[in-house]
Every structure is written in C-alpha cells, then in structure tokens.
Amino acid sequence: MVINALNSGTKTFMADFEDSNSPTFANLLNGQVNLCDAIRRKIDFETGGKSYKLSQNPAALIIRPRGWHLDEPRVTIDNEPLSGAIFDFALYFFHNAKELVARESGPYFYLPKMEHYREARLWNDIFNFSQSYIGMPHGIIRATVLIETLPAAFQMEEILFELREHSSGLNCGRWDYIFSFIKRRRADRTAVLPDRSDVTMEVPFMDAYVRLLIQTCHRRKVAAMGGMSAQIPIKDDPKANEIAMNKVRADKLREVKNGHDGTWIAHPLINQIAMEIFNEHMVGPNQYHNRREDVKVTAADLLNTTVPGKITAAGVRSSVAASLAYSGAWVGGNGCIPLNYLMEDAATAEITRVQLWQYVKYGSRLDTGEHVTAEYIDRVVDEVAPTLKGGSITEKNLDIVARYLKKQVRQEWPSDFLTSDLMPYLAIADGCPPQFLRSVL
C-alpha cells in the first residue's frame, strides 16, 4: 500500500496513524518501519509473482499522528499512558527528520482533531523542543491543521498564529466536522440533521466554514486544502463507476472554484481526475491571490442548521450498517474499509453514531411516520449485524460493537470518541495491563 501510494503520481501521500488506522501495536510499529524504509528507498514487496518498488520520483510524505484524545496505553511514563499523538510524532521525527532533510525534503505533518488554539501552541512547543533536541534548526517541521471540529472553526486565525513558522495551512476535514457539529450542538433539538447523504458541502454551515477557511488561509498566504472525495473506482460496473467519478469531478470543481489550493482523494486511480481539474482552473502552485474578500461569514452562518432533507428509515438502516461495519473492522485491526464503493474511516462511524443518538434523544420522526426510539435502533441492529460478517468483521467483534451502539443511543449525552471507547479491546489483545484501561461495556 505504501509503495503504490508513493508511486501514484500525486504530489503528496498522507500516511495515516489516525482515522484510517486501527491502532494495534503491530499496525503502529509496522507502519513506522515501512515509513523508515520508504524514506531510505529500501522498501520493496513481492507477491503472486509481482514485484513492487519505489519509482524515481515518489510523492512527498506527510504523516498524520493520532489526535490528543487518544492515549497509547502500551507505553507508559510514571505509570501513566503516553499520548498517542506524541508517540506517533516522536518515533517518526526522531528516526527520520535528518534523513528527510538530507534528501531535500522534511518532516511534514497533518494535525487532527484540534478544538482550541492552545492545542496548536502545545504542538508548536513540541516541535521547537524536538528540533533543538536533535540539533536541527527551527522551522524544518511543517504542519497543516485539519479544521474538523466546530470550536476550531472559530479559532482558525489563532491556530495559524500559534504554529507560526511551522504552519503550512489548514485543511477542510469535512466528515469529522459534521460529527463535531452534531456533538457540540447535542443539547439543541433544532440542530437535528437529516440523513447523512443530505448533509453535503453545499448546505449552509458547511459552505460557510469552507469559505471562511479559504479566506483565512489566503490572508496569511498559506494553503487552504480541500477535503477528501471518498469515492473509489467501481471496476465491475462501468455505468456506476461513471456516476461515481462524476461526483468526484463535481466535488473537485467546486473546491478549485471556491479557491482551494489542493485537495485529497481516497484512491490513486482518482488522481488524474483531480489533477486535470486543478490544472485547468488553478494557474500556478496556489490561489493565494484569491483573497476571497467577498466572504462575510458570521457566527450565525457557522451555526446555521437549515439543511434540506428527511430522516428516512433507509437512512437510519444505512447508518446502522456503516457504524457496525466500520467499528467491527476497527476492533478487528482494520481502520479503513470500502463500503458501498466509498472508502470509509472512523469519521463515518462517528457521524452515524451521533446521528442515531440524536434521533433517539429527540424522538425524530421517520418518513414512514414512525418515531426513532432506542428499541427501534435495537431491531435494526439485530437485523443488519448478521449480514456484515466477513474478514476482520467477526461475529465476536460484531457482538461487541452492536452492544456498544445500543448503549450509545441510550446515553444522556454521546461519548466524545468511539475510538477512545473501543481502544481497550485493542490494548487488551496486545497484552496491555488492565489498570491502564477503562471499561466501556
């Protein structure tokens, strides 16, 4: 996977220790080893008579460590778990920073899940300490912050300021942003959103956040990165594939015309589509000249819950299936799965979980006329779960996540993060002492 990603023809490849990774210790350490080998051009792989090796000009490597909310319970300091974010960053930086600089690159990072500028300040302190510790000049680290929480949308300027010499820009972490929007508006019954498929980038609160991010970045002459298109190629159905690829085209065209300087894709075969659109509509390496001075985003715009759509029985069933499938795979050690021809990560499970909680909490009415209750969700879970078994989604893991989801929709308030709640199952499998874990079921 690492070889194919670096050879894909994209400008950069993000190696993800966060939302598309299930943080088993084996996944974390094998990932670090692969990155060390890739940086030193020593990575290769043979299988089924095929040989894989790096091209002459691989993509630049960017690392996304875990967010501040995730501990690393298998590594402790003074009998306290280490921060997962620090663990991922420190291993990569210590072993690779000098090698990267020697190869005329550098240690580049995406920083997830921030909610406050003080978290950016903490990262900046860590960057300064780490550069001094290995005898490297300050500023070799470059970081792009994912604006994927509602509180962070109100602090973009402050976040850029705190990172200063290390800042490369901001990114629209669109799927986690929807999750955060629901979670932070959980006490507001007027903020109940319709089916997930109706919450597009064109709805008012999403459009406002995107326009504000672009304006903020271009005012400071840093990159405003677009979000990920989750579509993946559909090889056995040309008609369905064309529909999916047209969705990618429309998404990337919207981004470049809004003023984004780059974008994310979920699959290497989509690179050509994204590159053609950005090359056609973006002259030069960025759009910093497009200051978006026309943008006048207010707090009310960022909180506008006017979203056309309905809460449907089919949508609830789809959310239950997505939540169980992803969570079941995650507990089984797989943090990224194709689901209905979309590449899904933890944001999918988080959005679906809090939406289902929201529907139960406020007794939302379906298009069928039926109210969503905890018992209704129980029935759907029991119907859907048996259809999902296969691969890393075992019957045992499905039982764990089905019980978890049933419990979640009954809580007074939703848990902050599913991944924090389910982490004990991974840690116990890795032999972590139970005193460092908390029970969730």
CA distance linking residue 174 with residue 150, whole number of Å: 11
Residue 220, both tokens: 């400071």
CA distance linking residue 356 with residue 379, whole number of Å: 13
Residue tagged active-site, from 64, 66, 174, 196: 64
Residue 359, both tokens: 């529907």
Residue 345 is among the residues annotated as catalytic for this protein: yes
Residue tagged active-site, from 196, 345, 353, 421: 345
Give the 3-state secondary structure of residue 299.
helix
With a CB cutoff of 8 Å and minimum separation 6, the contacts of 77 are: none
Q: What is the DSSP letter of 268?
A: G
Three-state SS for 384-425 is: HHHHCCECCECHHHHHHHHHHHHHHCCCCCCCCCHHHHHHHH
CA distance linking residue 242 with residue 377, whole number of Å: 34
End-to-end CA gap in the chain: 34
Residue 109, both tokens: 């990072």
Short-list 152, 193, 168, CA closest to 67:
152
Residue 64 is among the residues annotated as catalytic for this protein: yes
- The one-letter amino acid code at 271 reads N
The residues assigned a catalytic role are 64, 345
